[in-house]
Amino acid sequence: MLDRSRPYGRSPRDLKPGVHDASPEHYWLMRRDLSQIHRPLGWPDSLHRVDFSRENAVAVHRLLRLGTELGGGRVPDFETWLDGFENDPEFDPALCFVLEDSSGVIAVAQCWTSAFIRNLVVHPRLQGQGVGLALLNHVFETFAARHEGHVDLKVMESNLTARRLYERAEMYYVQRCELEPR
């Protein structure tokens, strides 16, 4: 439900939480306009993109679950999550972007066919090195090539690190919503 308890601005581009807004009971819908795509940033040479597969599914799911522990959000149990790739039309294995290094899976952006980033996680040991921004730009480039107008995601208001990353990626705040009880 939209929290209308305080005004944020006249237009969606004017919306922005204050520096002290970090409620664990709220999340934000954020958007990136794809009409002007910049040259994508590359990730470090020690990383390489691999296709999502049954072979790396356990490691991908484990990283997504770690992301929810650290930043909020929800990822179902492994079998339910994996079943989505076969039975949910929003899931497409080609839209699950996986980065690996010599230790294994270190970053994932799982997207839906509706140009929505369902989950984005970078392993804590690589955060702050531009991997998340490079992965986001790869997602934006992919959806622009599919002729989408924008990409959306939801971020917990309390996840300040993720919010800063999305702001750097030129995403803007669209709507503040109350978190539904589990």
Encode pLDDT of 62-81 as tens digits. Answer: 999 999 888 777 899 999 99
Which 8-state DSSP code applies to residue 180? P
In whole angstroms, give the CA distance from residue 106 to residue 48: 10
Mean pLDDT of the chain: 88
* Long-range own/partner contacts, residues 99-104 (CB < 8 A, 24 or more apart): 99/43, 99/47, 99/48, 99/49, 99/50, 99/131, 99/135, 100/47, 100/48, 100/49, 100/50, 100/56, 101/46, 101/47, 101/48, 101/126, 102/46, 104/59
Token pair for 97: 């972007």
Report d(CA 117, CA 138) in Å as an integer. Answer: 12
pLDDT higher than 70, residue 7: no
CATH number of 23-178: 3.40.630.30
User: For position 25, what pLDDT does the model report?
Assistant: 85
pLDDT at 14: 64
Give me the mean pLDDT over the 84-103 stretch.
94
Rg (C-alpha) for the chain, rounded Å, is 16
- The DSSP call for residue 27 is E
pLDDT for the residue numbered 9:
45
Query: Residue 90 is which amino acid?
Result: E
Q: Which residue has the tokens 């795509």?
A: 37
pLDDT class of 13 with cuts at 50, 70, 90: low
Mean pLDDT of 25-50: 87
What is the average per-residue pLDDT within 37-46?
A: 78
The model's pTM is 0.87
